[in-house]
A and B are shown apart, each in its own frame.
Chain A
Amino acid sequence: MDHAIETERLTCRYGRTRAVVDLTMRVPAGSLYALLGPNGAGKTTTLKTLMNLRPPTSGVARVLGVDSRALGPSDFARIGYVSENQRIPSNLTIAEIEAFCRPWYPTWDATLATELRERFGLDPRARIKTLSRGTRLKVQCLLALAPRPRLLILDEPFSGLDPVVRDDLTTGVLSLADRDGWSALLTSHEMDDVERLADHVGFLANGALIVEEPMTSLLARFRRVEVALPDGAAVPAQPPASWLGFSVDGRAARFVESQASPAADAAWRSVFPGAAIESGPLSLREVFVALTRSIAPDAGERR
């Protein structure tokens, strides 16, 4: 199996609104894949469909080689899923919920569970209902990671958490990352965390995937460019399509090059002969902003 997850022309409709449109995505086996996109892009719907929490309207999703609609208990025993919408029995203590989950997972690793509990600073006697949101999320992550799943699916694991908790979760996820044959898919808006954690990126916009590639190639492809315009310099009325967010502010022209290469470099210089041109790398956060701004807003019509 080359892909932990693959979808083909997956479409999900809520009434007349299409949340996901013809989505074809591939999560390579062994990768830590971040599915990004602005609010309402269709990320959570995609994850719910993958987990068979809702059926696709059309198209197919295969998870660990199994059609999502056919996923059964033995498949779910190999998948860890963490979502904010998940309910966990709030009257149980952490130790009780661990004991409750353990028999469902043949691969449950008790040593790892203890290690994570200590790393996350969790008291096994604490009752779920007394825990803060961040601590509850740590419990969910512990329950998802302890079975050493073949596939981990995390829906917004970092949202609203303080930096220390986010750091703990990152460490927890990475502690599984050097194991072979292990894959993860996550959605998040915490771009700094994603930039560290993920090695593959998919970018969803209006329910469609517009970018899917390794993190290193994505970050190498985007560059911030600033041109100091000489006197009387002409500015292109129609900048090349690979220039995102082209703007002129006084004597400075700025844009984000989305296809950086020596050839693109030569193109800047031919458009602005004799100008001083500076360029630099972008963080994932800046790439996200540039991509999001470059998308035509969804007309909001019932597609």
Chain B
Amino acid sequence: MLPFSLTVRPGEPIVEQIVYAVTRAVVSGQLRAGDRFPSVRTLSQELKVNPNTAQRIVALLVEAGLLAVEPGVGTVVTNHRQPTAGGADAATRRSDLAALEERLAEPLVVEARRLGIGLADLVEIVRRQWKRLDQSR
């Protein structure tokens, strides 16, 4: 059994899909800091992916700061940045925000406007989604 759930969407890159599933589990608290993360071998067998692909997924998650390799223990979930922690310095936060705005906020606003959804409703949707993630743990 894997500690995160994955609904495979055919035709989309498998690595990105799995990285997203793990990221979702971490930010929603389904996976918590210090939790053991499955070995490459287990990931390969459970997800039915090549061991090298499983290895790459772990490497990407380590690079993203969600997992860390602890000698003698294995791969564990890190204490990733909490929204209230304010751990990152101001410059990093600004560039993270700018990246988020360009990459995801813009398409969201564009789609909302296309559908004729108002700003208040859009904000409400984001708020609800924020809460739903917390409940999925």
Chain A residues near B (Cβ < 8 Å) = 32, 167, 170-171, 174-175, 177-178, 192, 195-199, 214-216, 219, 276, 278, 281-286
A196 touches B56 (CB 8 A): no
Closest-by-CB residue of B relative to A168 is B48
State whether the Cβ of B28 lies closer than 8 Å to any Cβ in chain A. Answer: no
Residue contact A196 to B48, C-beta cutoff 8 Å: yes
Q: Check B14 against A177 for contact (C-beta < 8 Å).
A: no
The listed residue with most A CB atoms (<10 A of its CB), out of B11, B12, B49, B50, is B50
Q: Which of B16, B41, B50, B53 contacts A281 (CB 8 A)?
A: B16
Interface size class of B (residues with CB under 8 A): 20 to 34
Q: Which of B13, B51, B52 contacts A282 (CB 8 A)?
A: B13
Known: A196-B53, A199-B50. A219 touches B15 (CB 8 A): yes
Chain A residues with CB under 8 Å of B5's CB are none
Select from chain A the residue with minimum beta-carbon distance to B16: A281
- A177 pairs with B51, CB closer than 8 A: yes
Other than the given A174-B50, A281-B16, 17 more pairs (CB < 8 A) read: A167-B48, A171-B45, A174-B48, A174-B49, A192-B14, A196-B49, A197-B49, A198-B50, A215-B50, A215-B53, A216-B15, A216-B56, A278-B103, A281-B13, A281-B15, A283-B13, A286-B11
Rounded to whole Å, the gap between the CB of B108 and the closest CB of chain A is 13
User: Pick the contact of A216 from B44, B53, B103 — CB < 8 Å?
Assistant: B53
Cβ contact within 8 Å between A219 and B50: no
Contact (Cβ within 8 A) B44 A178: yes
- Cβ A171 vs Cβ B48 within 8 A: yes
Give the complex CA separation of A170 and B53 in angstroms.
14
Docked complex: B31-68 residues within 8 A CB-CB of A: 41, 44-45, 47-53, 56
B50 touches A32 (CB 8 A): yes
Contacting pair B10 A196 (CB below 8 A): no
Determine if A216 and B52 form an interchain contact, defined as CB atoms under 8 angstroms apart: yes
Chain B residues with CB below 8 A from A199, complex form: 50-53
Q: Are A285 and B11 in contact, CB atoms less than 8 angstroms apart?
A: yes
Interface residues in chain B, defined as those with a beta carbon under 8 Å from any beta carbon in chain A: 10-16, 41, 44-45, 47-53, 56, 103, 106
Judging by beta carbons under 8 Å apart, are A192 and B13 in contact?
no
CB A216 to nearest CB in B, in angstroms, measures 5
Contacts of B56 in A (CB 8 A): 216
CA distance A174 to B46 in the complex (A): 10
User: Which residues of chain A have C-beta atoms less than 8 A from B50's C-beta?
Assistant: 32, 174, 177, 196-199, 215
Report the separation of the CA atoms of residues A170 and B52 in the bound assembly, to the nearest whole angstrom. Answer: 15
**CB distance B10 to A192 under 8 Å?**
yes
Question: What is the bound-complex CA distance between A171 and B50, given in angstroms?
Answer: 10
Which chain A residues border B103 with CB–CB below 8 Å? Answer: 278
| Contacts A/B (CB < 8 Å), 23 sampled | A32-B50, A171-B45, A174-B48, A177-B44, A178-B41, A192-B10, A192-B14, A195-B13, A196-B49, A197-B48, A199-B50, A199-B51, A199-B53, A214-B52, A215-B50, A215-B53, A276-B106, A278-B103, A281-B16, A282-B13, A283-B14, A285-B11, A286-B11
CB of A298 to closest CB in B, whole Å: 27
- Contact, CB under 8 Å: A192 / B51: no
CA distance A284 to B52 in the complex (A): 16
The answer to whether A283 and B48 have CB atoms under 8 Å apart is: no
Chain A to chain B: the 4 pairs with minimum beta-carbon distance, closest first: A199-B52, A283-B13, A196-B49, A199-B50
Assembled-state Cα–Cα distance A276/B102 (Å): 9
